[in-house]
Amino acid sequence: MNISRRHFLGVAGGMISSAAAGNCKKVFAARQPKAPPNPYGCVVDLTACVGCRTCEQACNRVNHLPPPKERLDDRTVLDQKRRPSTGAFTVINSYYSGRLDEQNQLVPTYVKVQCMHCQDPACASACITGALSKKDNGAVHYDKSKCVGCRYCLVACPFQIPAYEYFDPLTPRVRKCTFCYERISMGGKPGCAAACPMEAITFGNRQILLEGTRRKITANPVRYLNKIYGESEVGGTSWMYISKDPFEKLGFLSLPHYPMPHLTETIQHSIFAYMWAPITLFAILTGAMWKINPEQINHAPGFQAQEDHI
């Protein structure tokens, strides 16, 4: 996914930029990174997660999602490299980095996947109606009443997170982790963080979390790599991770440390500046994606193709 998504963005950006005959440069130049000043965040300690899927169960419960096909305590799904979907806003996947235990057995690392709630989210920037927006508390919030179903957000997300209810012909929605917006707005914790029996998910003010996590890493150099994934990727995310194993061996993407919306805002500006029909732009984006590598799109490392994604 890493290569295909970035190549896709590059190709799509090139196509759109060419079509816009250089005027997009003004858009790139004018844009300043946007982020709320004091958002909440979560840090997932991958050395503490035991893959119990209690967080998945809690997420399913607090979001009133339908029962999944596989039981929520079935641990055989951990090796399937699932991705979030319309029916599961978070999933746990297992990876083997090559680390061995005392019995010379490979040690699994369990990785929780959900919307990263980017500080400056590409999905919100791509949304032409404002249906997705970054809130002051850190949540990237979806407002169904504003959504026109264009699905630019699905294309724009560098983590391939939003899913679409293709199965619903009348009122399809974009679905993704909500950061438990209502719960945290009322002073509570996200359902998954509250439920984790290993306290692997720490919720709090993002800046204070970062400072505490840096101290934790410094105090435990054998247990943790000196890296907080999400501290600066795509301009920073509200969900962040610490690990003993290299992140690239755990399905994490190597992404630039600047916000991604420069392309997606170009899409928006192109729609209005050149009066292109949204379907035309969507066709360009989708065509570019398939042109780059359809195999990688459907079989991206760390993810499994599902019909509610592109």
What burial class does residue 198 get, using C-beta atoms within 10 Å of its C-beta: 0-12 exposed, 13-18 middle, 19+ buried? Answer: middle
* Sign of the Cα pseudo-torsion (194, 141, 17, 30, in order): negative
Q: How many Cβ atoms sit within 10 Å of the Cβ of residue 251?
A: 20
Q: Which of 12, 27, 59, 297 binds ligand SF4 (CB under 6 A)?
A: 59
Q: Give backbone dihedrals phi and psi of 113, rounded to 5 degrees, phi first.
A: -120, 130
Helices (H) and strands (E) in the chain, counts: 11, 9
Question: 174: which strand partners?
Answer: 164
Give the list of residues 6+ apart from residue 228 with CB closer than 8 angstroms, or none. Answer: 43, 210, 213, 214, 217, 240, 241, 242
251 is a contact residue toward ligand SF4 (CB under 6 A) = no
CB of 233 to ligand SF4, least distance (A): 10
Is the CB of 162 or the CB of 251 nearer to ligand SF4? 162
Q: What is the x/- site pattern for ligand SF4, positions 119-148, by CB under 6 A?
A: --xxx----------------x--------
Binding residues with ligand SF4: total (CB under 6 A): 41
Q: Which of 5, 81, 82, 117 binds ligand SF4 (CB under 6 A)?
A: 117
46 is a contact residue toward ligand SF4 (CB under 6 A) = no
Is the CB of 60 or the CB of 270 nearer to ligand SF4? 60
Alpha carbon distance 302, 79 (integer Å): 10
Q: What is the x/- site pattern for ligand SF4, positions 150-189, by CB under 6 A?
A: -------x-x-xx-------------xxxxx---------
Is the CB of 273 or the CB of 301 nearer to ligand SF4? 301
Alpha carbon distance 48, 198 (integer Å): 6
82 is a contact residue toward ligand SF4 (CB under 6 A) = no
Q: Binding residues for ligand SF4, per CB under 6 A?
A: 49-55, 58-59, 62-63, 89-90, 92, 110, 112, 114-118, 121-123, 140, 157, 159, 161-162, 176-180, 190-192, 196, 198, 200-201
